[in-house]
Structure 1
C-alpha cells in the first residue's frame, strides 16, 4: 500500500468495549511502552510487526535539530528489500490528537500515513504511522537511541533487528534530555 492517506474508518473496539480504536505502528521512541503512554494512556500492545520494503532513517526536519531529543529523529523511507520491525498498539481515537501533537503534525515535522504491516503469523494489519518529509539526515542522540533499543528489547523485536538498532551511530550528545527524564520518572529507574 502506498503511504500517504488515512483510513476513513478507525478499527471498531471489541464487543462490549465502548468507543472506537485504531491501530498504530511504532518504530521509534514509541516502541517503549512508557514513552508512548506519557501522553497516550489508552495504548495497548497488540503485536510485533514488520513493515516490508521500508527502512528506518534519522534526520532533522528542515535541518533543524530536535529540541526534544537533541539529534536526528526516526522516520521511515521506502527501500525495496528492506524491512522495519516495530510494535502495533491499539489506541482509542481520543488519543489521535495527543499522538499527532507528540509527532509534530501541527508543525509539519511528521505526516500521518496509513501502512500495511505483517504480524509474525503473516496477517496483514492496516495501521496509522508517521513519516517525516523534508528532512536532512542526521544521527540520533545516544539518549534517543537508548529509548528505541530499550523498546525493541521490551517488546521482543527480532534479535537481528535489535543488533542493527544497537549499531546505529549517534551524535554523542551528553546534555540533559527532558523526555528521557520524564520516562525515567515514570519507570523509577534510569534507562
Structure 2
C-alpha cells in the first residue's frame, strides 16, 4: 500500500496504542477497521490511569514527555463508525477526549490521526521514580496490548518494554474474552451446565499491594 492510497472519502485514520492494538479487540465494536501500518508517536509516553471495572485496572493513556515515544497501530475506519469508537472510548462519559496528532510510519511517512487521551492524566515522573500500584494495569489488559504488539510485529525493544510493565494480577474480563476469541472461530457449545459455576470475586486490594511492595523494596 502506498501513501496516496491511504486516505479515502468518508473514512478517518485512528491511532491505537492500548487494547485496540489487537485486531480482534477493535473489530468487536468497529468491524470496518482496516489495518494501515504501525506508527510511532514522539514526545509522549505510555501510562495507565483511572480504574476500569471492565478491565480490572487502569487503562492506557498518553502523557506528554520529552524524548519518549509510543508505538501503535493506524486503523482506517468508516466515518459512520466514529460515534461507535467515541462510545467505546467513553468520550460522552468524559473519560477520554479526542485529539489529532502526527505519527510516523516506518515506510510511508507521517500521518495525522485521531487519538484518544484520558481527560485526567497522572503527573510527570522521572525515569527512575517508582510507579504507584494504582498505575499498574491488570494482567489481562497488559496481555491484550502485548498480543496486539506481537500481531503487528512492533520493534522487539518496545515489546520487551511492554513485557516489563508491572501488573496488578487482576484478570478482569479475561474469561469473557477467551470465550469470544474461541467463538469467533468455532461454533459455541450448546451443552447445558447444571447449577451456577462458583467464581472468586475479583477485587483490587491496594493496601495488600502496597504492603507487598514495601516488603520487596524496603
TM class, shorter-length: 0.7 to 0.9
Aligned to 2:156: 159
| Structure with greater helix share of residues | 2
Cα gap change, 1:169 to 1:96, in 2 (>3 Å): same
The answer to whether structure 1 residue 37 and structure 2 residue 23 are counterparts is: no
Matches within 5 A, 1:94-173: 94-121=80-107, 123-135=109-121, 138-173=135-170
Cα deviations by residue, 1:105-133 (Å, 9 ceiling, x for unpaired): 01111001100000002611000010002
**What CA distance in whole angstroms lies between the structure 2 residues aligned with 1:86 and 1:26?**
5
Q: Structure 1 length as normaliser, TM-score?
A: 0.82
- Which protein has the bigger strand share? 1
Higher relative contact order by CA 8 Å / sep ≥ 6: 1 or 2?
1
2:129 maps to which residue?
none
Look at both structures and tell me which one has the larger radius of gyration over its CA atoms. Answer: 2
Q: Cα RMSD over matched residues?
A: 2.0
**1:28 partnered with 2:18:** yes
Contact 1:34 1:187 in 2 (8 A): no
Indicate conservation of the 8 Å contact 1:68/1:177, yes or no: no
Unaligned runs of 5+ in 1: 1-10, 14-18
Q: CA deviation at 1:144?
A: 0.4
| Stretches of structure 2 lacking an aligned partner (at least 5 in a row) | 1-5, 123-133, 187-218
Distance 1:175 1:76, change over 3 A: closer
Determine the C-alpha separation between the residues in 2 that align with 1:68 and 1:123: 36
TM superposition score normalised by structure 2: 0.73
Give deviations 1:16-54, integer Å, cap 9, x for gaps. xxx510000000000000000001000000001000000
Query: Would the aligned equivalents of 2:95 and 2:119 in 1 still touch at CA under 8 Å?
Result: yes
